A and B are shown apart, each in its own frame.
Chain A
Amino acid sequence: EIVLTQSPATLSLSPGERATLSCRASQIISSRLAWYQQKSGQAPRLLIYDVSNRATDIPARFSGSGSGTDFTLTISSLEPEDFAVYYCQQSSKWPWTFGQGTKVEIK
């Protein structure tokens, strides 16, 4: 099983700041990596797929990058609605797995 390790566990930032979230895989994976946002009490929402493609209606301030085992989600300038938990997910190898999540909280 591919283990995805996200860091940091919690990111404390102010609106307007840049957020950089990391996801490291336990083995080299293909480009089948996604990022999801989950707000409290809500279902997850797909943000990024295939490392760097934004899903429908996702603002341009969200971007993804990386390759091999190291991947990054960047939020260029945090909006109030961006404070949430973010998960990476791989579909390169069964079973598909998620990281444990990074909480982006208001500083």
Chain B
Amino acid sequence: EVQLVESGGGLVQPGGSLRLSCTVSGFTFSKYWMSWGRQAPGKGLEWVANIKEDGSTKNYVDSVEGRLTISRDNDKNSLYLQMNSLRAEDTAVYYCAVSRIAYYFDLWGRGTLVTVSS
């Protein structure tokens, strides 16, 4: 069964840090681009960052550039999002997604909630 499972979310104070993980199974992780997206409470979807199969290319939405860092470990079938200097507006459910169909998010995890609040 194809699965993506996020973990690492929680409550963090403004300015704090958090590291999200996404562990995948059921497909060859190292063959595909991977992404993080997010959804603020009651709001729409936002693409945050993506990373090439070998980790050599990364793209970010402007609002997170320099604060959030995407990475991957193909040996561990895992995707990561290091989140630093967190702000209240980063509060959201964070999803990992795979692009087995190039340029699209064809399968998503169930998400992990990050709450930035004092």
Contacts and interface: CB of A to CB of B under 8 A. Distances in A.
B55 interface: no
A43 B108 contact: yes
A94 B101 contact: no
Q: Which of B59, B106, B109 has the most CB of A within 10 A?
A: B106
Contacts of A96: 47, 50
Contact of A46 (B59, B61, B104): B104
Contacts of A38: 45
Contacts of B103: 32, 49, 91
A71 interface: no
Nearest to B102: A91
A98 B108 contact: no
Interface string A96-107: 111111000000
B49 to A, nearest CB: 9
Contact of A89 (B104, B109, B110): B104
Interface string B72-112: 00000000000000000000000100000101111111110
Contacts, number: 54
Given A43-B95, A43-B109, A43-B111, A91 B45 contact: no
Interface of B: 44-47, 50, 59-62, 95, 101, 103-111
Contacts of B46: 98
A49 B45 CA distance: 17
B84 to A, nearest CB: 20
23 contacts: A32-B103, A34-B104, A34-B105, A36-B105, A43-B111, A44-B45, A44-B108, A46-B105, A46-B106, A46-B107, A49-B101, A49-B106, A55-B106, A89-B45, A89-B47, A89-B104, A94-B59, A96-B47, A98-B44, A98-B45, A98-B46, A99-B44, A101-B44
